Amino acid sequence: MKIERFEDIVRPGNLSRCEEKKRGQERVGNISPRELAFDIDGVLADTFRVFVETARNQYHVQVAYEDITEYDFRKVIDIDIEIARDIIERILDHPIQMGIRPIEGAVEVLRLLAGEGPILLVTARPGRSAIYEWVLQHLQGVDSNLIRLEATGTHEEKVPILLKHGIRYFVEDRLDTCYLLATAQVTPIVFEQPWNQKPHPFIRVRSWAEIEQMIAWSGSTYAKGCLRDASQKKS
Burial class (CB in 10 A: 0-12, 13-18, 19+), 21: exposed
| pLDDT tens digits, one per residue of 73-105 | 999 999 999 999 999 999 999 999 999 999 999
| pLDDT tens digits, one per residue of 190-221 | 999 999 999 999 999 999 999 999 999 987 65
Q: From CA 134, how far away is CA 131, in angstroms rounded?
A: 5
Burial 108-121 (b: 16+ CB within 10 A, else e): bbbbbbbebeebbb
- List per-residue pLDDT tens for the chain, 235 residues long: 443 332 232 333 444 433 444 444 445 479 999 999 999 999 999 999 999 999 999 999 999 999 999 999 999 999 999 999 999 999 999 999 999 999 999 999 999 999 999 999 999 999 999 999 999 999 999 999 999 999 999 999 999 999 999 999 999 999 999 999 999 999 999 999 999 999 999 999 999 999 999 999 987 655 544 554 554 455 4
Cα distances (Å, whole numbers) of residue 167 to 52, 119, 126, 224: 32, 11, 21, 23
Q: Could you tell me if 171 and 38 are in contact, meaning their C-beta atoms sit under 8 angstroms apart?
A: yes
* Annotated domain spans of the chain: 17-45+102-234, 47-93
Classify domain 17-45+102-234 at the CATH topology level.
Rossmann fold (3.40.50)
